[in-house]
């Protein structure tokens, strides 16, 4: 247990990040949840993040506005690029340029102000192998960089990036969260959820999620549009 | 020369970053200038950045809003922390937590969308030795991380972080810029400039700048308040 140890936890409002938050709390961290309003296509994900942070009774929840959508280049932030409805080879068009680098950098800034030495992020290298910034090598390199970047680095502190889900299948993630009492009905994973947070059922994220519940042998609590 | 090679250049509106922009243009890069509105104490620095970017005829200039000020922890973004008027030991209170990590991450995101393989930043390890994120080791670690973070990394590209000023004295920076025709009268370095961009003359940044012009044997063009 890490009583009184603070951790910054990246919380998107999806299935993975709420599982990570539950794991960090189980390990005894005081959790500071961080979400981003980055002109993603829908805001129901952020509404879910707020609801989940409140339900988990985190020490604090912040939502940072950051206009990476103005750079374009992703179906998640650029309305002119369609969200695909079938899995494809290579890096998906739903990849947001340098997103995890930007998110982890902001988590690092908050961690430094809080005096936290731990950051949790729900990246997964199994289902998101096409996303360069979900891989082990990237996370390790970010941690090395972070340990040279901050006041703590100068003063002898040691920052750790925790990625408890990185090697889990979606079914394992779901079983882990269920054992910790996570309410997945409140999470939004869909890339094009409607304003009520109801899922399309056909995008990559919906397919991975539905297959995960099926493989875990757990009834899918997702609210679908049709 | 690097005809048609694109570079993202971080442009604060201060003396160092405009010198970097002039160097990148001299090397033949097509320059995409990036500035940040991060709730810094004054906006005259951003006004200077806009004016300098226009005068340099950059290919594009973007200003990204990013609310790292809400984390607090720095005299530059937190009005409750006074800007010091004498140089002190250790990390200055004007250090903004993880600022260069955040700025470089956003430069990386834009570079990825532009297809640029070069980022220029005006960090200086001589005068800013107290800032952890102005040192060689940090920049090298960021570059390593960046080369694992992006689509280009997966597809075989190679990103370089250029820090042409990192080992220069302020006088060398000024002489370099003067030789390239930089108009330093339009730059704002002061940590507490007024709305017209006039400098206080007493903060660390003003002292370093004034000493630089003196050491370079060049008349200081800075507009002071008193």
Mean pLDDT for the stretch of residues B117-136: 88
A146–B101 CB contact, under 8 Å: yes
pTM: 0.91
Residue B87 has pLDDT above 70, yes or no: no
Could you tell me where the beta strands, DSSP code E, fall in chain A?
6-10, 30-37, 60-65, 118-120, 160-162
pLDDT higher at B170 or A155: B170
Which of A39, A25, A114, A134 lies closest to B150 in space, CA to CA?
A134
Q: Given this model, what pLDDT does residue B102 score?
A: 94
- CA–CA gap between residue A121 and residue A168 (Å, rounded): 13
What pLDDT score was predicted for residue B130? 76
The predicted structure's pLDDT at residue B165: 97
Q: Looking at beta carbons, which residues of chain B come within 8 Å of A64? A: 66-68, 70
Model pLDDT, residue B70: 80
From the CA of B172, how many Å to the nearest CA of chain A? 26
The residue extents of the domains of chain B are 6-184
| DSSP collapsed to 3 states, B81-130 | CCCCCCCCCCCCCCCCCCHHHHHHHHHHHHHHHHCCCEEECCCCCCCCCC
State the average pLDDT over residues B4-13. 94
What chain B residue is nearest to A97 in terms of C-alpha separation? B109
Confidence of residue B61 (pLDDT cuts 50, 70, 90): very high
| A136-149 helix and A99-114 helix, angle to the nearest 10 degrees | 40
Any idea which residue has 């990625």 for tokens?
A163
Residues of A in contact with B106 (CB under 8 A): 68, 98, 102
B98-106 average pLDDT score: 93
Least confident of A99-113, B31-45, B105-119, B179-193: B31-45
Q: What is the Cα–Cα distance from B201 to B206, expressed in whole angstroms? A: 5
Mean pLDDT, chain A cut into blocks of 10 residues (226 residues total): 83 95 97 89 86 96 87 74 69 79 95 93 84 91 94 77 96 97 93 90 91 95 90
Interface probe with A: pick from B94, B96, B101, B112, most Cβ of A within 10 Å: B101
Closest CA to A48 of A194, A216, A214: A194
Please state, rounded to an integer, the average pLDDT across all residues of chain B. 89
Nearest residue in B to A72, CA atom:
B113
B200 or A153: which leads in pLDDT: B200
Compute chain A's Rg from CA coordinates. Answer: 17
Size of interface A-B (CB pairs under 8 A): 145
Contact call for A145 and B141, based on CB within 8 A? yes
Mean pLDDT of B208-217: 95
Q: What is residue B80's predicted lDDT score, i.e. its pLDDT?
A: 75
User: B6-184 architecture in CATH?
Assistant: 3-Layer(aba) Sandwich (3.40)
CATH homologous superfamily of A6-182: HUPs (3.40.50.620)
Residue A2 has a pLDDT of 58
Among the partner-chain residues A110, A141, A150, the one whose CB lies closest to the CB of B145 is: A141
Among the ranges given (B36-45, B47-56, B132-141), the one the predictor scored with the smallest mean pLDDT: B36-45
């Amino acid at each position: 247990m890490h009583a009184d140890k603070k951790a910054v936890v990246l919380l998107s409002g999806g299935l993975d990040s709420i599982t990570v938050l539950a794991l960090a709390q189980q390990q005894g961290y005081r959790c500071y949840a961080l979400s981003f309003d980055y002109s993603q296509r829908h805001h129901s994900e952020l509404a879910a993040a707020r609801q989940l942070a409140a339900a988990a009774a985190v020490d604090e929840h912040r939502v940072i506005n950051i206009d990476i959508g103005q750079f374009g280049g992703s179906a998640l932030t650029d309305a002119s690029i369609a969200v695909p409805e079938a899995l494809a080879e290579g890096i998906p068009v739903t990849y947001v340029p340098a997103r995890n680098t930007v998110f982890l950098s902001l988590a690092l800034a908050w961690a430094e102000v809080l005096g936290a030495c731990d950051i949790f992020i729900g990246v997964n290298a199994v289902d998101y192998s096409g996303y360069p910034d979900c891989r082990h090598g990237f996370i390790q390199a970010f941690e090395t960089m972070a340990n040279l970047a901050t006041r703590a680095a100068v003063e002898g502190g040691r920052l750790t990036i925790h990625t408890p889900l990185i090697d889990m299948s979606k079914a394992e993630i779901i079983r882990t969260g269920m054992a910790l009492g996570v309410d997945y009905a409140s999470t939004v994973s869909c890339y094009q959820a409607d304003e009520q947070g109801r899922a399309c059922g056909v995008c990559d994220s919906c397919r991975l999620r539905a297959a995960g519940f099926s493989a875990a042998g757990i009834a899918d609590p997702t609210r679908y549009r049709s």
